[in-house]
Amino acid sequence: MCGARIAVSVKRMGVFGRSDARVLKEGIDGTAVICECRSHEERYSSPGEGPASALSAFGIGHIVYYLTLEVSVPGRAPYEMNGKFRVPAKAQKLSPLPFHTKPIGRGLIVPVKVDRENAEKVVIDWEQFDPKNRQTAYG
């Protein structure tokens, strides 16, 4: 898993364009395993120091991640893709309590939608993701 497969590199910014909304509505259901994950906030000297951290602790806003995903859809071979994704802070909330969060990370399985004509166009379906019932590929 998350090995040497066909690698596709794309620049993604989550569910913010009309194209992404179309893929979410009409795309093929699938799953993806996060193989690599790096927060855009890692450029700050201490974890949790970035500008989004204070609000994200309350489940507000989003955090930008650089992700490598292993995408699986029925009837197709799994493939890897790299991109920049906006992850809603609420996807990391474990309870209504502030700071009760768990960042996304390696091995997490997320629901995706894949464009029917262009398999390089992958959108993480955060509306279907339940942060309290996380599934991981690596146990």
pLDDT in tens, 98-124: 555 667 788 999 999 999 999 989 999
SS3 per residue for the chain? CCCCCCEEECCCCCCCCHHHHHHHHHCEEEEEEEEEEEEHHHHCCCCCCCCCHHHHCCCCCEEEEEEEEEEECCCCCCEEEEEEEEEEHHHHECCCCCCCECCCCCCEEEEEEECCCCCCCEEECHHHCCHHHCCECCC
Give me the residue spans of the domains in the chain: 7-133
pLDDT digits (tens, 9 = 90+) for 24-50: 999 999 999 999 988 766 544 344 445
Dmax (CA) for the chain in angstroms is 44
pLDDT digits (tens, 9 = 90+) for 74-101: 999 999 999 888 888 777 765 555 555 6
Structure tokens given for 86:
């906006």
